[in-house]
Structure 1
């Protein structure tokens, strides 16, 4: 189905066309007519399925022609778990609202409170917020939700994981009884299901089957000794001149260690995890999206919601514990009809975990061993002497003469290789 065949107002159709959207995704086909009719909805759909347009376009359609907001009295509130997702939603909705008088803004923690308050007072029609900062504004009476027409809870299962469910439940006292409510969640555990029933009235259930196949994503498993994962990553980036690679690890400590390893190899990178300041996170994402950063090392905080246009590849330096997290991670690539590739670095010790992952997803991933990384290959000198950094020990360099430049097994990169042209061994 084409967007031009829907009943969306002309300004929205023009904005959608300018945005590059032509055909509706499955979730949009199911949600759009129900949302346009004002129906409360409980929607099970994966990240990357087109949810933002599914709830955003009908929501904006209802506001076109209404008097613009006067002060901090929004017509719609979208609650989302993370700052980055709040920023992205606001960006997308602002693009959809282009050409109308509707004003969209985001409020989130980690940013200065006062400018947000001042912007709210200037008027906002659609407010995107994280729970903590939303309650900061509500508790100080800087925000009035008494005229809210539409409430959207996005990534509800993620908000449950982050402990926001009770905050959302107590939000009820600020909300008008008559409103449209739409709840979106990748999964519906009992707590999320109960929350949905509490927040909605006679809601329609919409379930879009998750695509675990990663049909537009070439998925491969690279078998590599655990301590040589960082070495392999650096070699692939240089050998193939990769300019934009998102690398997932499981912990903040692992992200920091890998960042140190990439720095020693002269590969431009940024680290993205929950302990980074908001400014650092913004700079990391901006640099990566602009192509100024070749490798973004991230924990699962980046697995949900982040929309990096035309991201060519994702690497799981460490396998996630849950199959669902694997789907979210690789879902950062292969978006909007584009192809992508996902590599998982798996050590012999992780093969049982890989098997469980494949069984949960119902897939069999192609496996290969990169040349020089076979189990029988001799370890480089620095691993034999215990000075290797690797994926587990990145920060510890004990070469006495050159503590920050211990030799690598597979050759260092020349200056031209680090700048992204070609790679040759330094002699």
Structure 2
């Protein structure tokens, strides 16, 4: 905790950090925390998702709160309800021992509950721009006594079309507040907001990238009950599996670790209920590869610095993009390739899409290996190991050579070798130990074979590159017109005069209704994509002309 202490944080906060498993500050935390605590300037922090931004502003803000004030002292704007919940939970975990009230306000949550909490008085408000404006208009949220105004994922909010909403909210705040702006990039619109609404500011930039290019990112769709079987298949496909399996709960860690050991793997669990000594022993064994599989929670995994980890398995999908980036960062280090695998159930596609968009990760869908493929892979591993053994100079083999000659004199050579292989490897090559994995099904009872058949559908939009549109333009267009959040708009494929997007069935209905409404009886700009592959540059119906009709 000495490095955190040097940043100016109090003992109470240091105790909270130690309980959470923090060991030393990230780059953005080290740069930002002292500026928030000691200076009076505004701050622009340019940092990627997964670099610890929430703690960078959350820790010092809690320290700067003044007791006894009923009106909000801090407002934090985030682009999606998922991020709002994530930030709120993290902030609550930092306030240990303090009478600090934090309210999360976002669409989809009960307005009555939000009104009640705001009326009681809160110190910190974390919200989405739309719902914050709703409360400002109702008169239930006053921002005239703010001490801090925080924009989290500012560039993402602009991509989602929230620029005007941000400026509207800023216009209802007092001029004496400090503004803290966190963004991965610095587009022109953010610079404009800085010029208009920020005073003198410090600009800090971190060097860390979102994800390592040496990490292959994959996901498998699997039913909850089949996750353990899927895990075993992935482990068995690899000749030298050395990895971390992440679970959401301590109970989950114990269950998975115990089942792996029962199955014959070398595994151990790691979570917060273990003594420090026990944890250190497990980590020491893992580093020395006496254990090849470590099953852990996010908190317990903090500070793990083990080289040559081949795989990170998200047995449970991470709760937020920050956790995803932290987890997969355990592999793909020091020039070594690594693989990050995430198991998702059909109901978790929206969360996966959200993680992909915020982290800007290319997470590829794969099919789980079949039992025949695993057996073939194991046989190839065994043959390779035997060939390597035979190619090396071996000492003290005389007794085995005499024994081999005797057996070969009494039996056919093929049968001798077959018997030895069966005796040595029949347990490893036994197909019966693998259980059937049932393909996930939608509520309608149809099997899911790919993303488009997992409750998703494809939409056609009569706008493309020729009109000057980029992928963010298309996403903003749909978001502004329909209200469907950008994390739920996936796989934008842009052509010259049209494009396609993938959304859930429910969101598709919302988007289609919104565009039919503004079409006023004419052909809508958005329709369901027809089956089959359109020819490049040829939309499935008459092209649309004209200029952009929406803000970029």
Superposition TM-score, scaled by structure 1 size: 0.57
Please give the alpha-carbon distance, in whole angstroms, between the structure 1 residues aligned to 2:248 and 2:330. Answer: 22
- 1:21-63 deviation line (CA, Å, top 9, x unaligned): 2201000111111111232111111111111111111111111
CA spacing shift, 1:56–1:331, aligned 2, 3 Å: closer
Which secondary structure state, in structure 1, belongs to the residue aligned with residue 324 of structure 2? coil
Other-structure match for 1:175? 173
CA contact (8 A) 1:78 1:129 kept: yes
Kindly indicate whether residue 449 of structure 2 is the aligned counterpart of residue 390 of structure 1: yes
Q: 1:123 to 1:214 in 2, by over 3 A?
A: same
Structure 1 residue runs of 5 or longer lacking an equivalent are 223-228, 244-285, 295-306, 316-327, 346-360, 374-386, 397-427
Alignment of 1:280-295 (within 5 A): none
Provide closer, same or farther for how the CA distance between residues 234 and 100 of structure 1 changes in structure 2, counting only shifts above 3 A: closer
Query: 1:164 matched to which residue of 2?
Result: 162
How many residues matched?
A: 289
Match of 1:17 in 2: 18
Query: Where do residues 302-321 of structure 1 align in structure 2 (5 Å cutoff)?
Result: 312-313=312-313
Pair 1:238-2:191 in alignment: no
- Deviation per CA, 1:162-211: give whole Å up to 9, x if none: 11110101122211101110000111121222223323111111111232
Q: Is the 8 A contact 2:143 2:174 kept in 1?
A: yes
Q: CA deviation at 1:143?
A: 1.2
What value does the CA root-mean-square deviation take over the aligned residues? 4.3
Per-residue deviation, residues 192-249 of structure 1 (Å, max 9, x unmatched) = 222233231111111112325528x843679xxxxxx869x99986342499xxxxxx
In structure 2, C-alpha distance between the alignment counterparts of 1:138 and 1:156, rounded to whole Å: 20
Q: 1:391 to 1:5 in 2, by over 3 A?
A: same
Separation (CA, whole Å) in 1 of partners of 2:82 and 2:138:
24
For residues 246-291 of structure 1, the C-alpha deviation after alignment (integer angstroms, 9 at most, x for no partner) is xxxxxxxxxxxxxxxxxxxxxxxxxxxxxxxxxxxxxxxx999985
TM-score, normalising length: structure 2: 0.45
Structure 1 residue 393 displacement after superposition = 6.3
Which structure has the larger Rg over C-alpha atoms? 2
Partner residue, 2:324: 332
Match of 1:203 among 201, 204, 213: 201
103-112 or 189-198: which moved more? Answer: 189-198
Asked if structure 2 preserves the Cα contact closer than 8 Å seen for 1:289 and 1:308, the reply is no
2:328/2:340 contact within 8 Å kept: no
Aligned to 1:405: none
Where does 1:362-401 land on structure 2 (aligned, <5 Å)?
390-391=449-450, 394=453
Task: Name whichever structure is richer in helix by fraction.
Answer: 2
Q: Which deviations, in whole Å up to 9, do the C-alpha atoms of 1:278-320 show, x marking residues without a partner?
A: xxxxxxxx9999859x9xxxxxxxxxxxx976795369xxxxx
Partners of 1:68 and 1:125 within 8 A in 2 = no
**For structure 2, which runs of at least 5 residues remain unmatched after alignment?**
235-246, 257-296, 302-311, 332-337, 344-359, 374-445, 456-552
Relative to structure 1, the CA distance from residue 393 to residue 48 in structure 2 (aligned partners, 3 Å threshold; closer, same or farther) is closer
CA distance in 1, matches of 2:447, 2:124: 52
Q: Does structure 1 retain, via aligned residues, the 8 Å contact 2:248–2:298?
A: no
Equivalent-residue separation in structure 1 for 2:79 and 2:162 (angstroms): 8
Match of 2:98 in 1: 100
Residues in 2 aligned to 1:219 and 1:147: alpha-carbon distance in whole angstroms: 48
Distance 1:42 1:238, change over 3 A: same
**Partners of 2:50 and 2:325 within 8 A in 1:** no
Seen in structure 2, the aligned counterparts of structure 1 residues 105 and 338 have a Cα distance that, compared at 3 Å, is farther
Corresponding residue for 1:143? 141
Q: Which moved more, 1:177-186 or 1:328-337?
A: 328-337
